[in-house]
Structures are given as C-alpha cells and as structure tokens.
Amino acid sequence: MARQVLRRTFRAAAALLLVTAVVFTLLHLSGDPAYVLLAPEATAEQRAMFRARYGLDQPLPVQYVRYLAQVVQGDFGQSLSFQAPALGVALQRLPATLELTLAAMVLAVAVSIPAAVLAARWRGTLFDRLMMGITLVGQSVPTFWLGMMMIMVVAVHFRLLPASGRGGWAHLVMPAVALALWLMALLARVTRSEVLEALEQDYVRTARAKGLTERAVAGRHALKNALLPIVTVLGLQFGGLLGGAVMTETVFAWPGVGTMILDAILKKDFPVVLAGVMVVAIGFIIVNLALDLLYAVLDPRIRRA
C-alpha cells in the first residue's frame, strides 16, 4: 500500500511539472507584459527596466528554472498587477472556488444517484425514459448558456435570486446548479448503468430469494457494489468541475480562482496565472490520491494487491 502511494506521488509530481512547463511556455509566448502593465507613453528604457526587475529579459529556459527554484522554496513570485505575493492572491480566491465546486458536487450526487437507482429499479417505465431524456439534455447544454438563461429568467425576470456576486446561500444556488448540471447528468447515466448490471448478478438473486424488498436490494446490495465506478467518475470529473468553474465564475461574477486566472491572463500577470494553475492542479492531484486510497477501502481486492 505504501509503495502504491509513493508511486502515485511521484506520478503526481511529474504531472505537476509538466503542467507548469506547458503553462509557463504558453504564457511567455502570448506577449510582453511590459506593454500591458505600463502606460502607453512609457519609454523603451522604462520597459527594459520593468523586464529586468521581474527577470523577463532572460531566456525562457533560464526563467523557468529560476521559477522552479523559487517554487521549491515556497516563493511563487510577485504579482505584476497587485504588487503582492502571487500565491497569496490565489489562496485568497481559493475558498470561493472550493465552496462553489463542493456545492456543485454535493448537489450532483444528492440528486443524480437516488434518481438513477429509481430509474434502474423501474427500467423501461415513463420515469426511466424521462430521466434518460433529461440527462441527455443536461450533457448537451453549455454551462455558460445555462448560466445566462438562469440569470435572465430567475434573477432578472422573476427576481427570485441575486444575479451575481458572493454572499449567502442565495448567491450560491444558481452558480452551483449551472456547474452541477453536466456532472449530474453524467453521474446519473453511469449510476443507472452500473446498478442495472449489478441487479443481474447472482448475489442480488440470492438477496431476493431471502425475501428482501426491491428497495433494499437496489440500495443495500446493487448500489454498494456499483460504488467503485461512481467514485471513479467523481474523481475524474473533479478536474472538470474546477475547469467549468472558470466559466461559471465569469458568468456569475463569482470571485474565485477562475475569474482571477482569467483577469491575470488579460493583464499578462504571469506569476498569478501560474500560482492559480498550480493551486488548481495540486487540488486535483490531492483529490485523486485520496480516491486511490478510497478504492482500497471500497474494494478489498485492491488493498490486498
């Protein structure tokens, strides 16, 4: 078990290194921050001093190696626009993104799994066909379009919820629903498929022969043995939720890491972009490492291997 965790940790470190290399290269190919952050009337000497101050006049490989050396020491650089540590800027926005992402995940799990179990129990009924149709629509609707429609209808027309910003639970409802819809649809389809397969197994027939109700058979036996693929989907889609949060935060003006990264890209604030990407990537890696450990808890065969 310890060897497996160590191997996963090394793979995670390699993935993190690759992510930073790709993002670092793309950012530095996108333009010169000196022309964005300095006034249009700035002289060539002032621009040169700006580049020298932040090390932007060095060759790209030298800049990258220097950046990695700073990161190892916990220094993610100084924000070019906020004049503050880039990691601090990213961490200030992290709670808002985690709040939105976790709310969307909890909502998706709470709605999709019970509905999928019922659809599997009532296979071929109107409820089953209706749910499959809804999930198809849910996987087809773009998050940004759904967000804008919700703002127009719920916030502007009916004035039921605030259109943007972060505050109480009322501000969280629409962004969480918009972000959760795609995961909700995917999770419902996967859960239904896995539960249907489990309902055909011999142990389920044995449970029925013992006189257990269909509710107990589906919930206690079929769903329990279908958890591993469901957990896998949740782990893989956590990164998708973080990525989707960028668009959702932009539509609803949610002050999270996504809007911070987008603003930093427009301002050519490379340290903040890299710090934000690192925070998101580390969060994704930690979740997947935790899921690897959860697999061993859910399936003893993995633990023995």
User: Alpha carbon 27 to chain centroid distance?
Assistant: 21
Specify the pLDDT at position 289: 79
Specify the pLDDT at position 203: 80
Tell me the pLDDT of the chain averaged across its residues: 86
Identify whether 85 is part of a domain.
no
Number of domains forming the structure of the chain:
1
Range of 115's domain?
98-258+290-304
Specify the pLDDT at position 190: 93
Asked if residue 25 lies in contact with residue 59, where contact means CB atoms within 8 angstroms, the answer is: no
- pLDDT band at 93; cut points 50, 70, 90: very high
- pLDDT band at 304; cut points 50, 70, 90: low
Kindly list the distances between the CA atom of residue 239 and the CA atoms of 17, 236, 243, in Å, as whole numbers in the listed order. 17, 6, 6
Identify whether 70 is part of a domain.
no
Which residues, in sequence order, are CB contacts of 179 under 8 Å at separation 6+? Answer: 100, 101, 104, 143, 241, 244, 245, 248
Identify whether 147 is part of a domain.
yes
Lowest mean pLDDT among 2-11, 14-23, 167-176, 192-201: 2-11
pLDDT reading at 221 higher than 80: no
Residues of the chain with pLDDT > 70, as a percent, come to 96
Identify whether 223 is part of a domain.
yes
Average pLDDT over residues 35-63: 85
Identify whether 148 is part of a domain.
yes
Identify whether 181 is part of a domain.
yes
Residues of the chain with pLDDT > 90, as a percent, come to 37
For 50-70, give the DSSP string.
Answer: HHHHTTTTS-HHHHHHHHHHH
Which residues, in sequence order, are CB contacts of 294 under 8 Å at separation 6+? Answer: 231
pLDDT reading at 257 higher than 80: yes
Q: How many angstroms separate the CA atoms of 112 and 300, rounded?
A: 26
Tokens representing residue 166 in the block = 């972060």
Specify the pLDDT at position 158: 92
- pLDDT band at 154; cut points 50, 70, 90: very high
Q: What is the CATH number of the domain that holds 235?
A: 1.10.3720.10
Identify whether 3 is part of a domain.
no
Identify whether 274 is part of a domain.
no
pLDDT reading at 111 higher than 90: yes
Asked if residue 15 lies in contact with residue 285, where contact means CB atoms within 8 angstroms, the answer is: yes
Asked if residue 228 lies in contact with residue 298, where contact means CB atoms within 8 angstroms, the answer is: yes
